[in-house]
Structure 1
Amino acid sequence: MFLSFGTNVATLTQDESVTFNAILTDPDGVADIVGGTLRSTDESLEFGVFAAAGQPGAYSISLSWAQIHQTEPIEFAGGESPRGFRAVFFDQGGNKATDELTLDLVCAGGAACDGSCTDLAVDGLNCGSCGHACDGGEDACEAGACAPALSRCINFDEGLETCTAACQSFGETCAENACGAGITTRTFNNLMWCEDDLNGANKIMACDEPQMWNIGARAIKCCCTDTK
């Protein structure tokens, strides 16, 4: 039977480790205890094997945040996530003893995505929710929503004459003079330059203003709300 089962810390965050300590006794003597493992509360997952910890009947196992994530993915919002653990021990007669505890996994930024602490309000790779990436990249998230970003390249022969029409074709809305240093459009000599983002010319213009397709502006990117 368990005399005690606990941890050396009450909470755990990224890059930290926790030690689980168990002390048991047995009617036939502690030498009759075969050993134990640390598992999930439903015992479907195993985190590792307890090692003898000095005095007879004492056992421990240390796990890092990364090791816990590897066994059971860490992902949550709201600042913390209680995680249950069960210690399972056996004696030589096959008798089983179990005990459980809960450890709070916490992140200062309020959330964890794929095992990494983050702030969903400003993380452009996890904007508003885990896995929701902004077109504008990791710095394009404001208050949990993606900021406007330049669209994919639009070639002159696609029949999209305004940025309003172009953004609508993506299911988004044109954001007038809201990208970069305050632009609506970036023009390029050709589609290849556009796709490589080379030698673009920034333009301040209205969303409904028709594009002036010419030899120096055969492809464009439009500033669109990132609403996907």
Structure 2
Amino acid sequence: TIDGPGGAGKSTAARGLAARLGYFYLDTGATFRAVALKARELGVSLEDAQSLGQIARESEIRFGGDHNERIFLDGEDVSEAIRTANVTEAASRIAIFPEVRGPLMALWKRLGKDGGVVLEGRDTGTVVFPDAGVKFFLVAEESVRAGRRYLERAQEPGVTEKRVGEELRERDRADQARQHAPLMRAPDAIEVDTTGLGPEETLNRLELLARARITNRQSSQS
């Protein structure tokens, strides 16, 4: 599992690590985004937990692509559509509802029940798979995280680095303060500060640590 705040490098690291290990890649945050996207399209209030839960239960959400990096909602590839600022903000708001989290967590557990999965999110190592064999918690300085997010969204009309930083701080506060499954480091997670690391350096470090932990677990079980 790979958890941490936005902009710490979770997605890039998780995709790369899954590819190197030959594992399935599962972006839990993308499933919240998919539900948020559908809610916005249907005009459902982001405060209506029951209706949002119904969307989560009844929607077909699946992953595909070469490394399972694409997400499909009711048969449509929404991989790009879920990455807009509006959907990002909506996903953060609906993630607090157990009515939404319950069905999505059931999906994650079903996909990861046999192992061989790299999950990324904000509570995958504390709530979703607390017994995962290897857990990482990525962190980085706020200014660095904001800069990364700004580069991802620089082509959006009206976006500024200041605005991205403000949105990031608000998301951090919401994730850490929510009652159900708040963002926090699992006691047995390996913390990796990516502030001064590039994507390849981060991936190399995680792969080295993951392979060592996997080898140790296999040795102790033999």
Q: Identify the TM-score tier after normalising by the shorter chain.
A: under 0.3
In terms of Rg, which structure is larger? 1
The two structures have a TM-score, normalised by structure 1, of 0.17
The two structures have a TM-score, normalised by structure 2, of 0.18
Relative to its length, the structure with more strand (as a share) is 1
Relative to its length, the structure with more helix (as a share) is 2
